[in-house]
Amino acid sequence: MIRRTFPILGVLTAVLLSYGLYEALIGAPTEQSMGDVQRIFYYHAPSAWTAFLLFGINFVASVVYLIQRSIKADIIALVTAEVGVVFCTVVLVTGPIWARPVWGIWWTWDIRLTSTLVLWLIYVSYLILRRFSSSGQTPLMAAVLAIFGALDVPLVYFSIRFFRTQHPQPVIGGEGSIDPKMLQVALINWAGFLCFACLVCWSRYRLELLQREVEETEALEALLDSRKAQ
């Protein structure tokens, strides 16, 4: 079943991302005030939604780890944080590229941009902690850090509703008004990025399992060697 699902998901991802790219560059209508540069939205916003979703899964997996000490939950937390950081990096890179021609500046320290940068820094520190700490308590410390990190996600999301910011107000839901075709293109790209994130998380999960198996075997071998030496 799993062997069949992976290639199917791969094909679906390729189709959705190719169609999404075509629609983003050619199919979607051109926005009147910003022109073609507004098409960055079709990569910028879906990447942000994907990152938020992955950090949300990371939060749930971290809570499950704290309650049950489940190794599976710990690996899911690690994987979603890593892939979430990749998508958050895309947001932080495409945002300034969009801002430069529209606002005339690459960056401004307003709450939306700053809280997103803080979110990225929190999850980068989470990954650094997981990578370089050799303590047996690392998964526990990482789970606690992830819970603090997740508190920043609603702040990033709602900051444009509660504060006056340079960042545009929401165009989807609430008082926002977006052309239905633009919304459709954004959702196609989001579906493509979600499938892509699933594929990457899946591969990373299996890699982590393999890594842990090798580490366990090496540790066991070292123990046997030391006993033989005695």
Partner 1 sequence: MKFLYAAYAATWIIHISYLALLLRRYIRLRNEIQELNQR
Q: Does 94 bind partner 1 (CB under 8 A)?
A: yes
Tell me the per-residue interface mask from 45 to 74 with partner 1, x by CB under 8 A, - otherwise.
Answer: --x---------------------------
Q: How far apart are CA 76 and CA 60, in angstroms?
A: 10
Q: How far apart are CA 198 and CA 13, in angstroms?
A: 9
Q: How far apart are CA 39 and CA 24, in angstroms?
A: 6
Q: How far apart are CA 79 and CA 44, in angstroms?
A: 22
Contact 19, 188 (CB under 8 A): yes
Cβ nearer to partner 1, comparing 148 with 215? 215
Cβ neighbourhood burial of 27 (10 Å; 0-12, 13-18, 19+): middle
Contact with partner 1 (CB under 8 A) among 52, 98, 120, 190: 98
Q: Does 187 bind partner 1 (CB under 8 A)?
A: no
Sequence-distant (≥ 6) Cβ neighbours of residue 110 within 8 angstroms:
163, 165, 166, 167
Cβ nearer to partner 1, comparing 96 with 170? 96
Contact with partner 1 (CB under 8 A) among 39, 59, 73, 156: 39
Q: Which helix (H) or strand (E) holds 109?
A: none
Q: Does 200 bind partner 1 (CB under 8 A)?
A: yes
CB of 120 to partner 1, least distance (A): 12
Contact with partner 1 (CB under 8 A) among 9, 12, 14, 21: 21
Cβ nearer to partner 1, comparing 44 with 130? 44
Q: How far apart are CA 199 and CA 14, in angstroms?
A: 11
Over its C-alpha atoms, the chain yields an Rg (Å, rounded) of: 21
Q: Does 179 bind partner 1 (CB under 8 A)?
A: no
Contact with partner 1 (CB under 8 A) among 16, 28, 40, 113: 40
Binding stretches for partner 1 (CB under 8 A):
21, 25, 36-37, 39-40, 43-44, 47, 83, 86, 89-90, 93-94, 97-98, 100-101, 196, 200, 203-204, 207, 210-211, 214, 217-218, 221
